[in-house]
Structure 1
Amino acid sequence: MATLKEFEEALRENGMQMALAILERLRERDRANRVVKPGRRIVGKKMTPELARQILELHGSTEMTQQEIAFKLGVNQGRVNEVIKRGKWLSGDQTAPEAVARDKGKARIQGAEPKRPRKAAAKSSARSGAKTKDKAGKPQRSPATAQLAFGDL
């Protein structure tokens, strides 16, 4: 099967200027009618054990792809993959790792969960405990490693 570009090159080689003009006119018409739409964002349903079973049923009984199943049920394709490959969401257990992660994410979005402490403050307190302090209360520096000078060679 030849591509459009190969077809155009063949027309050029054979000197078919009228056919090239018609092809160019068709391209211009298509460009004029072209509409750029933003990417389609699907707001997924809450994953439930019933929805997970429905995904497995569709996967087993039809030849639908994961993407087609996701579009049909209105869920994220990644969730369909998790159900099929790893069996996630099949139990109604609220302490399952995926349910806990979902609830934490929802709490973080709503602002109910407090922000984590900064890592820099935790590191500085850990460093000060590891070094000994001298009489002035300043942390003592560890001795520098030996360096070579020009005269050492």
Structure 2
Amino acid sequence: MATLKEFEEALREHGMNMALALLERLRERDRATRTVKPARRLTGQKMTPDLARQILELHASTGMTQQEIAFKVGVNQGRVNEVIKRGKWLTDDPHAPEAVARDKAVARLRGDPKPRKAASAKPVKAGEKAPPRARRNQGQLAFGDL
């Protein structure tokens, strides 16, 4: 398959001036009708109970698709689906699964260390050895390791 530039060069080689003129007219028409459209959204909105209620209201009162609602309120279509189908984000409960997942993701982005669970250490009696610690996976083998 030839590119438009290669096609134009072939027309020039064969002296097809009428076809070249037509091609130039098509380019000018294309330039005249071409527009630069802004990005759909730069950053997504933070999901809040108010935004979730607005999504439900738009879904119930209009014939808009989930994608259209997402574009209008500034979130992705997956979030709209979660609100409509599962009722997520409708409360300010900080212990709701979606709020916990959001907080964990924010902590990962900030580089905060993971909170570790406190180990239930059994007291060691005098003269006894402490039980061996569970070994952690030290990493994966690579092809050069063997």
Q: TM-score range by the shorter chain?
A: 0.5 to 0.7
TM-score by length of 1: 0.53
Shift of residue 87, structure 1, vs aligned partner: 1.2
Match of 2:99 in 1: 99
Query: In 1, are the aligned partners of 2:40 and 2:71 still within 8 Å (CA)?
Result: no
Relative to total residues, which structure has the larger helix share, 1 or 2? Answer: 1
Seq. identity, %: 64
2:137 is paired with a residue whose SS is helix
1:28 is paired with a residue whose SS is helix
In structure 1, the gaps of 5 or more residues are 1-16, 125-153
In structure 2, the gaps of 5 or more residues are 1-15, 117-134, 139-146
Flag the structure with larger Rg. Answer: 1
Query: In 2, are the aligned partners of 1:42 and 1:75 still within 8 Å (CA)?
Result: no
Greater relative contact order structure (CA < 8 Å, 6+ sep): 2
TM-score by length of 2: 0.56
Count residues with an aligned counterpart: 105
Match of 1:28 in 2: 27
Q: Does 1:77 align with 2:77?
A: yes
Shift of residue 53, structure 1, vs aligned partner: 1.0
What is the alpha-carbon distance in structure 1 between the residues aligned to residue 45 and residue 23 of structure 2? Answer: 46
RMSD: 3.7
Shift of residue 50, structure 1, vs aligned partner: 1.4
What is the alpha-carbon distance in structure 1 between the residues aligned to residue 37 and residue 61 of structure 2? Answer: 34
